[in-house]
Structure 1
């Protein structure tokens, strides 16, 4: 991707399409954004990076005139662009109506834009606009996707649908909040290319991201935030080559330290016992299609998670990774075959599993916000797991929950807050703490590091691998698109189009892949890491 993609648009003398001057946002007595200045230029990608809770999302949403409830806002927000501002949220399921098919969600937007056409031409025009937007958002097999409901899509597919909505609206400014969260290297590259293509049409893009490889590949300017303040800003290449602030250097160093070339960078990677704790045999999973039929989305003849082992399951969005994890957890009942825990078949439905079985297999969701009750404090919800699944008394459960949350980087003041007052990354860590309170045999982690900055991701992975080292009875299944994370596993299983196409020791799969899809995945990840195409 070229730095000159906008044909000279967005230079220093160009009028910004949006601008923040001295933005300060305070809520509940806490300052979450403090004195942020930001110029958003047409045809340019401006990236905001920093830890979870640093103020990236609050700053981005200010461009849309949206603030946390009860927030006290000072400073100036100026918008000059004609047309709406589009928003692609970190958790796309929150803005997709679960009761409507994707075709209905997109048709509504397109229909409003063709009202001046003759009635006979409207239907075809709506379809053309919808399919073009989906293609621009890098959505494969759009016709099949249009028939599905949001819950039948992977997180990456949901994000691309929301991006298609923004493109359909004709937005002149698009705020993309972690648009590559939970996506494989191939899809990340496509999203990066798409953001560059959007900017090439003169649209301003504000990218809020923890994914520094994507930031380097696509951004023109970068602002580094820490505790609500901009600690450093400048052209992306200058920040990468000569970072001036210690926090910028820490973010870049943590990214380098967790790469696949050094699988021992995060301490605690272990070799598992030969005894399998969880076994999948002849698993065939299906989804309901739009015509009332059932479509096979996953076939897994055999897969094992051994005691004390970390198994990483990688593949593209929509390849069946999350469906596999949901089958293991009893959340997806429409499947044949067996899931065995210590040789005993598990009921297909979560509702049919007893308390010990529920505690033994715990699921940490990709969309942590949707997994919490917004009306109860986080600490109460984390502690409740120990009460319900282990029979712990409330006082002991609360103390254990607080200690676990603090170990994962959630201090006591945050633990007592309601979920809406925590960032997405903070909620992911809280969700992990809640699962650990069950003291599981198998921990299913679905993209739990995808919304975290590099420093926090390294710490979370160190915690997980430390748990594997210290608890010989815990096994870990990592559902991930991130090959840096997968490199820390003992073994990797690669899914493509619902099939396990390759599995084996992690280092061998990443350095000497045998299947063409794995080769493509690893090569694309390496190109992204070095920012090829700028």
Structure 2
């Protein structure tokens, strides 16, 4: 092993059922350095990262060498709740680790030293108010707090390498900035960090070395600065070019600035397709969302942004009839929609369609994708089976899914392919309002860009359609006509996208846009 490395992979090949998911991969990880593995979904990033822990898919055939210097490898998963025992308090989880490392003969002093180590690890993981946190259970913590607890566990164990798997997926710009600060602090302590990420802005902010993977192989590896300024491989150039940018053309439904009268507000081309009045949504006895008024015009796109837990998804579910415990009204063409999905007519169900973040969970794994998509046209529009199937195939093909692909079961499609299929299923209802809830979260940059381009084109091509993007991603929000900002369940700001992003009126929006600018 390289004398300067704390971990090294050489000629790694991982086969599953005779197919190589990782092929001839080599990399070296130095102390205090951050090495980022980037690439599309299925490129082998996670399999390579987990090889450092000695973890491989069931039944895999593995060849090559993986060497780690003395000391454990810590792992911070994308979903940290999955590795925290839900039945034990945070203090108990951390003290179990700390006690094994204390060798003091007196029990009272062992307990005190273990506690000091726990509090120090929490401080290093940037968790404030550690004393109060020790008494909580994992489910009482936010996702970001759970992530930092897992990081504290790795630090307590004395890990010399930490593998961070998609640590910013589904996070707003402020949370992303804090993740960057945490991982930078870990590297400053001399710990090597292996970052597995789709988020090129975070990689740009953190990485010392970048390894680009595709189809299980390394296509390029270089110091970060050279990778950004002079990528050598065509695939790397394609990947770096996939970051969404605000298009030079006018956003859907907007009026060019040079065509407006002085002081004129930005109008939409159609009627107020969807309106919200006096909405107050509850979870049990707790009010989690208050929205006095919100309008989405036909032929336009509204992006709803805010940090995790701000009420974005609750708002979306109220619009679609999936959350009925609320006061106020949701109106379509000035007619109130029933609060519950079950009380809506077939026409009302077709009019408001919802595309979920987890497309895989939205499909029956035992039926071909084409059959499930076609059923929407039959069920909501009364189309004949043959007509519905032909429409479904045409819509799926139009979204870039080949005829042989759509005849497969959902488990045989990638996440991006299933997201396109979910979009096709919603479009077959011919909706007036399309609600997309974090549909690009966790996708690689190329797939994400493709889906965003297709979404933003919809209200341009269908002027009777209003598109609502629920997103943490301000790059995506910048493509919309208007932006609404939620914080702690309150609608704090709304306006034309360019105005909200460049001259925000609320302090929270200003903080959010500053964090976004710092990362980009």
What TM-score do the two structures reach when normalised by structure 2? 0.83
Separation (CA, whole Å) in 2 of partners of 1:490 and 1:142: 45
Q: Do the aligned partners of 2:373 and 2:424 also contact (CA within 8 Å) in 1?
A: yes
| Higher CA-based Rg | 2
Deviates more, 1:140-149 or 1:380-389: 140-149
Please tell me whether residue 182 in structure 1 is matched to residue 167 in structure 2: no
Aligned CA distance change for structure 1 residues 404 and 71 (closer, same or farther; 3 Å): farther
Separation (CA, whole Å) in 1 of partners of 2:179 and 2:434: 30
Match in the other structure for 2:261: none
Match in the other structure for 2:263: none
Cα deviations by residue, 1:233-264 (Å, 9 ceiling, x for unpaired): 11111111111111222222232xx33xx443
Q: Which of 171, 180, 196 is the equivalent residue of 1:208?
A: 196
Aligned CA distance change for structure 1 residues 493 and 360 (closer, same or farther; 3 Å): same
- Deviation at residue 481 of structure 1 after TM alignment: 1.9
- Deviation at residue 223 of structure 1 after TM alignment: 0.8
Q: Do the aligned partners of 2:434 and 2:465 also contact (CA within 8 Å) in 1?
A: yes
Match in the other structure for 1:283: 279
Aligned CA distance change for structure 1 residues 113 and 483 (closer, same or farther; 3 Å): same
Cα deviations by residue, 1:58-105 (Å, 9 ceiling, x for unpaired): 33333344444554444333344533531412x667x379xx96x847
Please tell me whether residue 351 in structure 1 is matched to residue 347 in structure 2: no
Superposition pairs for residues 508-523 of structure 1, below 5 Å? Answer: 508-523=499-514
Deviates more, 1:316-325 or 1:213-222: 316-325
Match in the other structure for 1:32: 21
Superposition pairs for residues 233-244 of structure 1, below 5 Å? Answer: 233-244=221-232
Separation (CA, whole Å) in 1 of partners of 2:119 and 2:379: 46
Q: Which of 206, 209, 232 is the equivalent residue of 1:221?
A: 209
Separation (CA, whole Å) in 2 of partners of 1:72 and 1:413: 29
Separation (CA, whole Å) in 1 of partners of 2:18 and 2:373: 25
Match in the other structure for 1:8: none
Q: Do the aligned partners of 1:134 and 1:142 also contact (CA within 8 Å) in 2?
A: no
Please tell me whether residue 476 in structure 1 is matched to residue 470 in structure 2: no
Superposition pairs for residues 56-75 of structure 1, below 5 Å? Answer: 56-68=45-57, 70-75=59-64
Separation (CA, whole Å) in 2 of partners of 1:60 and 1:379: 35
Q: Do the aligned partners of 1:53 and 1:426 also contact (CA within 8 Å) in 2?
A: no
Match in the other structure for 1:249: 237
Q: Do the aligned partners of 1:210 and 1:453 also contact (CA within 8 Å) in 2?
A: yes
Aligned CA distance change for structure 1 residues 75 and 435 (closer, same or farther; 3 Å): farther
Q: Do the aligned partners of 2:304 and 2:471 also contact (CA within 8 Å) in 1?
A: yes
- Deviation at residue 401 of structure 1 after TM alignment: 3.9
Match in the other structure for 2:97: 113
What is the SS of the residue equivalent to 1:276? Answer: coil
Cα deviations by residue, 1:100-133 (Å, 9 ceiling, x for unpaired): 96x8474663353366796999899889959974
Match in the other structure for 1:193: 181
Aligned CA distance change for structure 1 residues 421 and 274 (closer, same or farther; 3 Å): closer
Separation (CA, whole Å) in 2 of partners of 1:338 and 1:304: 12
Cα deviations by residue, 1:403-430 (Å, 9 ceiling, x for unpaired): 4444444445554554445444444333
Please tell me whether residue 273 in structure 1 is matched to residue 269 in structure 2: yes
Separation (CA, whole Å) in 2 of partners of 1:145 and 1:107: 4
Q: Do the aligned partners of 1:270 and 1:465 also contact (CA within 8 Å) in 2?
A: no
Aligned CA distance change for structure 1 residues 406 and 65 (closer, same or farther; 3 Å): farther
Superposition pairs for residues 318-467 of structure 1, below 5 Å? Answer: 318-412=309-403, 414-467=405-458
Separation (CA, whole Å) in 1 of partners of 2:129 and 2:363: 31
What TM-score do the two structures reach when normalised by structure 1? 0.81
Match in the other structure for 1:492: 483
Separation (CA, whole Å) in 2 of partners of 1:33 and 1:201: 31
Q: Which of 14, 25, 34 is the equivalent residue of 1:45?
A: 34
Q: Which runs of 5+ in 2 are unaligned?
A: 255-267
Cα deviations by residue, 1:457-501 (Å, 9 ceiling, x for unpaired): 222122112221221221111111222211111111111222111
Q: Do the aligned partners of 2:89 and 2:136 also contact (CA within 8 Å) in 1?
A: no
What is the SS of the residue equivalent to 2:499? Answer: helix
Q: Do the aligned partners of 2:90 and 2:137 also contact (CA within 8 Å) in 1?
A: no
Q: Do the aligned partners of 1:493 and 1:504 also contact (CA within 8 Å) in 2?
A: yes
Aligned CA distance change for structure 1 residues 84 and 252 (closer, same or farther; 3 Å): closer
How many residues matched? 499
Aligned CA distance change for structure 1 residues 281 and 108 (closer, same or farther; 3 Å): farther
Separation (CA, whole Å) in 2 of partners of 1:438 and 1:388: 9
Separation (CA, whole Å) in 2 of partners of 1:133 and 1:526: 29
Aligned CA distance change for structure 1 residues 12 and 128 (closer, same or farther; 3 Å): closer
Q: CA RMSD in A?
A: 3.7
Separation (CA, whole Å) in 2 of partners of 1:127 and 1:282: 50
Match in the other structure for 1:299: 290
Match in the other structure for 1:6: none
Match in the other structure for 1:168: 153
- Deviation at residue 509 of structure 1 after TM alignment: 1.3
- Deviation at residue 375 of structure 1 after TM alignment: 4.5
Cα deviations by residue, 1:29-58 (Å, 9 ceiling, x for unpaired): 654332221223333221111223323233
Q: Do the aligned partners of 1:139 and 1:160 also contact (CA within 8 Å) in 2?
A: no
